[in-house]
Amino acid sequence: MRYERVKNFVAEWTLSVALAVFIAGCPGDACPADKLVGDAERGAGLFASGDGMNANGGCQNCHCPDASGGCQFDAPNIQGEECQHLDERTRNPIVSHPGGKFDFSDQDVADIEAFLADWAK
């Protein structure tokens, strides 16, 4: 049954590497804004302000004032969007986001999240 043992070893090794890569890829604190209490009213201001292109807000130009999407560039509905996703699109883009990269603080992200959560109710 040597073959079985080699096979198990390879399977376990592959799993360990996959796990290590996964853990390394997750910074201990995935979304700092999650620790803060968001202010939906302030979030509404950020969502509305700016010209929308690399400005500190202006999401509504594309995502529409109620975040339901479709106002420009086929921007999707982002009602109820959560911290991690907001970060990945606005502050630390992991995909190119037509809205660009935004210079938000953790509090800004928490506030926008609170604003979007209100629309998801």
Between 12 and 47, CB nearer to ligand HEC = 47
Site of tokens 């302000």: 49
Rounded-to-integer distance, Cα 101 and Cα 30, Å: 18
With 0-12 / 13-18 / 19 or more C-beta atoms within 10 angstroms meaning exposed / middle / buried, residue 12 is exposed
Task: Check residue 43 for interaction with ligand HEC (CB under 6 A).
Answer: no
In the region spanning residues 69 to 108, those forming contacts with ligand HEC, defined by CB under 6 A, are 72-76, 78, 81, 85-86, 89-90, 95, 97-99, 102
Rounded-to-integer distance, Cα 96 and Cα 94, Å: 7
Between 1 and 95, CB nearer to ligand HEC = 95
Report the interface residues with ligand HEC, using CB under 6 A: 52, 57-59, 61-63, 72-76, 78, 81, 85-86, 89-90, 95, 97-99, 102, 112
